[in-house]
Amino acid sequence: MDYTFIIDELRAASLFDLFRLRAAINLQLEDPQRITQVRRRLRPGMKIRYFDEAQNRLVEAAILELRRTRLLVKNLGDRKPWLIPFCAVNIDEVETDLRTAPGHNALDRSSLKVGDQIGFRDRQNQDKYGQVIALNQKTATILTSDQQKWRVAYQFLFPVIDSNE
């Protein structure tokens, strides 16, 4: 499924259209048959990747316990236990990144994820570079290379190619 295409189409939808679609999607996410299909493919101890909405990225985890509507997992990054819904598990290893549409260079919340390397210009018009540590409603929280935290509006951010990868 081309998530980028769908998001681009949804930008033209009214607020009511989006609300109505969310209601229909929620019914599908809570469908016991769909949950059972995913549940049958999972086992305690299994390593999975799930989509974390707050970080807008996939997170690696190990399954600790299967519950009725949720999974108890141990996040392999922070080593903490988390309860996640079955729908968050990327069981088929689907590509989850959203790409910016051609001709649309501005970054936004949907195209960034925690851990991305980005840049911006400060009030003195100096380039600053850092890593996204949180995605907020109107701003991203950035930790710069000199360990300063900045909250920067999405329209002022630009992508940086990480030379360490």
Phi-psi region of 87 (alpha: psi -120 to 50; beta: other; left: phi over 0): alpha
Higher pLDDT, 76 or 123: 76
Confidence band (pLDDT; 50, 70, 90) for 104?
A: low
In a domain, 96, yes or no: no
> Residue 3, exposed/middle/buried by CB under 10 A (0-12, 13-18, 19+)?
middle
What residues does 70 pair with on adjacent strands? Answer: 85
| 20 and 71 share one domain | yes
| 71 and 28 share one domain | yes
CATH code of residue 22? 2.30.30.140
In a domain, 100, yes or no: no
Token reading at 4:
């980028």
**pTM exceeds cut of 0.85:** no
Q: What is the pLDDT of residues 1-59, one digit of tens each?
A: 778 788 888 889 999 999 999 999 999 999 999 999 999 999 999 999 999 988 889 99
Give Cα separations from 40 to 12, 36, 53, 109 (angstroms): 38, 6, 24, 33
| 36 and 113 share one domain | no
CA–CA separation, 110 and 98 (whole Å): 7
List the domain range (segments joined by +) for residue 119: 109-159
In a domain, 153, yes or no: yes
| 80 and 129 share one domain | no
Residue with tokens 């009725």: 68
How many domains are there within the chain? Answer: 2
| 119 and 53 share one domain | no
